[in-house]
Structure 1
Amino acid sequence: MIIEPRTRGFICLTSHPTGCEQNVIDQIEYVKSKGAINGAKKVLVIGSSTGFGLASRISSAFGSDAATIGVFFDKPASEGRPGSPGFYNTAAFEKHANAAGLYAKSINGDAFSNEVKEQVINLIKDDLGQVDLVIYSLASPVRTHPETGKRYKSVLKPIGGDFSNKTVDFHTGKVTDISIKPAEGDDVANTVTVMGGEDWKMWMDALNEANVLSEGVKTVAYSYIGPEVTKPVYRNGTIGAAKDHLEATAFTISDDLKAIGGEAYVSVNKALVTQASSAIPVIPLYISLLYKIMKAKGIHEGCIEQIQRLYSERLFGGSLDLDDKGRIRIDDWEMREDVQAEVTKLWETASTENLSEIGDLEGYSNDFYNLFGFKVPGVDYEADVNEVVTIPSIQ
């Protein structure tokens, strides 16, 4: 079939298997071009099919020749209906990992569930024995608690008062004012339950109790802080409360892993176009301004550049360079004073009329479509493609 992008708000309803595969190939080639990483050899990535999780799996496999197990929750294709981009990404990753002689298996299911945790543990026991790196990169808006069966939903709201500021519709380039009502009732608690550190700890507890973590194991979860302009709705809002919990959980997990010399870290990453970030008001406008500035300074990074640098320079490169709260700051280039000063200056004047000049809305839009396998250089979108793709380890 011929697959074209169909969008609704911040979601693309279709995805392109060839475009997704080319995206994966491009990331693989980037990692290989940067040279070998003296990293982990047996890696579990929880949330492995898109964004930072996919970049982590690629960096592990093609930077360190690691065996990888990926966990994700994606929709396979059926005849006449494309699958989700994460499904196509994983199929492409396994195909190219296998061609390179690398172990790669995947489990498609709800990572919050006890059943999937058990499946992963059994797979590790059967095939790898133990893992020496666990990446936790889940980004889900809902969670069914495995102990109670209760379903929790996260919300994106400020805490304590309304939030009003600018945002942009990245499809049209129209800059408008937006106002968001504050959290109420159980909004904060529910968001922390979905996006905080509880599930990360449950994973590490289950893996540790099953004796599938190697001596000196490392585990890393991903977080974000961001600039002053997004602070009321992000870091000081409901999601920020969840990130605070996630970051605090790293210390608890490190204590739990002391007996085997294990360590848990949170890496604070750069603002990037992901399916999750596209849904957050204000963020698309901020990213379009940020991209313009960082590209002009030659310090722009996408997911794969971020994670390759995290691995090669920080996690396995000798110096973690932790901040005063014990976090790895791979957002260091984004948060440079000169970068943020320019963002603040441009933010004041940003409008529908001038955004195409002062921002990089085209770069934002292209990155959004790339997530779904569209607008990827070198792909013929007029060619007929087979939408039904299988993942080698999931038949």
Structure 2
Amino acid sequence: MSVRQIEPKQRGFLIVNSHPTGAAATVRRTWQEIPAQDGGRRPVVLVLGHSAGYGLAALLTGLRRHGIRGVGVAFEGADNGRRTATAGWYRTAAVADLVQESGGDFDFVNADAFSDEGKKQVLDLVEESYGPVDYLIYSLAAPRRTDPATGTVHHSVLKPLGAAYEAPALDFSGPAPAVSRIRLEAGTEEEKQATVEVMGGADWALWVAALAERSLIAPGFTTLALTYVGSEVTAPVYRQGTIGAAKEHLEATARELASSPALAPVGGRAFTVVAGAAVTQASSAIPSIALYTAFLRTVLGDEKFRSPADQAVELWEQLEGREPLALDGQGRIRLDGWELDETVQQRVRQLWADPDQGLLTARAGADWFMSQVRELYGWGVAGVDYNSAVEADIPWPTSR
């Protein structure tokens, strides 16, 4: 037991503790925002990176609308009496409560999904409790990965390639959001390759191979990984940078998997899914993304800005054949048309051209962005009493 009042510990974007009640409240709010649906098959799904961002959105949507069964995997830290558990830990506990309340059938594993031991632990559970998998959703985001074959630890970096990057960014260190300038030196070839090893498709392919080795790939199996293209405004640090190289590798992996011996005999499919901009723990760490997203939110407003859950609803409709697949010329599923609409992007570019003046127009968007970052950790959530002591030592959901 660890009942105590918890205060946020924050500097700029960096928040080092989480609120269990607030984190749980964000999960339940998202659950209620997803349109429920009865009937249809109940596919077996393995979600890698289920505790945040698009992985969490895909999980909640699959559970509420399609009654999915299966296993979610994340790597989260528990409360230690001094520092709270991670927000993903608390969100997982909240999702497990919703599964139980709705009569669902889903288990959660806290493990390093990059490791051989983690894969074995997860696939043992899948084999014992669910059988062949219909969907593998790959949504892992991590700063480092240990290659299980060599033991080499690779570290990802967020850097441009070819030349240094200078751009405006949002600064939240003062009493109000302000525009600052950032400069990032160009990444080296070694840094690029390390980032590809962490965030590219190598581990995704290992998971598909591990499923195939244990005969856990169902007929008509589909696997997908999340990617992002984004605007020309952020391209130098994202799509044209080290992380973009990793995304290109991820997309190449999808094409290789689609024709691989593991998938071809069962009519399997492999896609990357190009999602739109969102405030996630991963995206908030990327320089200039905060300012760009604040401008984008200002241009679109509340009704037209599509949340990860909104996009996940659209994705599942396509995956389950209720809507046609929205494929581009590279075979990627596109969910980002609302963001990259030329009229929208033209208005964003106008704000970006004079960011100080743009921020005056987009102040509400900047405040919204920071409020969304805080909510990622369970802070600033409507209806939560932050003055009361709460139990911080929440147990991880028990697998069968």
Distance in 2 of aligned mates of 1:142 and 1:38: 39
Cα deviation, 1:242-264, whole Å, max 9, x if unaligned, reads: 00000010011111201111101
Bigger mean CA deviation after superposition, 40-49 or 241-250:
40-49
Identify the residue that residue 349 of structure 1 maps to in structure 2: 354
Structure 1 residues 238 and 274, CA gap change in structure 2 (3 angstroms): same
Distance in 1 of aligned mates of 2:249 and 2:310: 27
Bigger mean CA deviation after superposition, 166-175 or 280-289:
166-175
Cα displacement (A) at 1:39: 6.8
SS in 2 for 1:45: strand
Q: Contact between 1:170 and 1:364, CA under 8 Å: does it hold in 2?
A: no
2:271 to 240, 243, 265: 265
2:213 to 200, 209, 216: 209
Aligned pairs (5 A) from 1:85-164: 85-164=87-166
1:238 to 231, 236, 242: 242
Aligned pairs (5 A) from 1:186-335: 186-256=190-260, 257-295=263-301, 298-313=303-318, 316-335=321-340
Aligned residues: 392
Distance in 1 of aligned mates of 2:171 and 2:320: 37
Cα displacement (A) at 1:232: 1.0
SS in 1 for 2:126: helix
Distance in 2 of aligned mates of 1:213 and 1:314: 16
Cα displacement (A) at 1:28: 1.1
Structure 1 residues 368 and 376, CA gap change in structure 2 (3 angstroms): same
Aligned pairs (5 A) from 1:35-50: 35-36=37-38, 41-50=43-52
Cα deviation, 1:73-110, whole Å, max 9, x if unaligned, reads: 00011334310000000011011101211112111111
Distance in 1 of aligned mates of 2:259 and 2:293: 36
Cα displacement (A) at 1:11: 2.4
Structure 1 residues 269 and 178, CA gap change in structure 2 (3 angstroms): same
Distance in 1 of aligned mates of 2:94 and 2:161: 41
Cα displacement (A) at 1:317: 2.6
Cα displacement (A) at 1:7: 1.5
TM-score, normalization by structure 2: 0.94
Q: Contact between 2:155 and 2:198, CA under 8 Å: does it hold in 1?
A: yes
Structure 1 residues 315 and 328, CA gap change in structure 2 (3 angstroms): farther
Bigger mean CA deviation after superposition, 147-156 or 308-317:
308-317
Structure 1 residues 235 and 36, CA gap change in structure 2 (3 angstroms): farther
Q: Contact between 2:26 and 2:375, CA under 8 Å: does it hold in 1?
A: yes
Distance in 2 of aligned mates of 1:378 and 1:213: 43
Identify the residue that residue 384 of structure 1 maps to in structure 2: 389
Q: Which amino acid aligns with 2:188?
A: E
SS in 1 for 2:273: strand
Aligned pairs (5 A) from 1:36-75: 36=38, 41-75=43-77
Q: Which amino acid aligns with 2:340?
A: M
Q: Which amino acid aligns with 2:235?
A: K
Q: Contact between 2:166 and 2:183, CA under 8 Å: does it hold in 1?
A: yes
Q: Contact between 1:196 and 1:246, CA under 8 Å: does it hold in 2?
A: yes
Structure 1 stretches of 5 or more lacking a match?
none
Identify the residue that residue 7 of structure 2 maps to in structure 1: 4
Identical-pair percentage:
38
SS in 2 for 1:338: helix
2:22 to 19, 23, 26: 19
Cα-Cα RMSD: 1.7
Q: Contact between 1:170 and 1:361, CA under 8 Å: does it hold in 2?
A: no
Q: Contact between 2:37 and 2:64, CA under 8 Å: does it hold in 1?
A: no
Identify the residue that residue 31 of structure 2 maps to in structure 1: 28
Structure 1 residues 169 and 193, CA gap change in structure 2 (3 angstroms): same
Identify the residue that residue 361 of structure 1 maps to in structure 2: 366
Structure 2 stretches of 5 or more lacking a match?
none
Q: Contact between 1:117 and 1:203, CA under 8 Å: does it hold in 2?
A: yes
Q: Contact between 2:76 and 2:88, CA under 8 Å: does it hold in 1?
A: yes
Cα deviation, 1:196-216, whole Å, max 9, x if unaligned, reads: 000000001101111111110
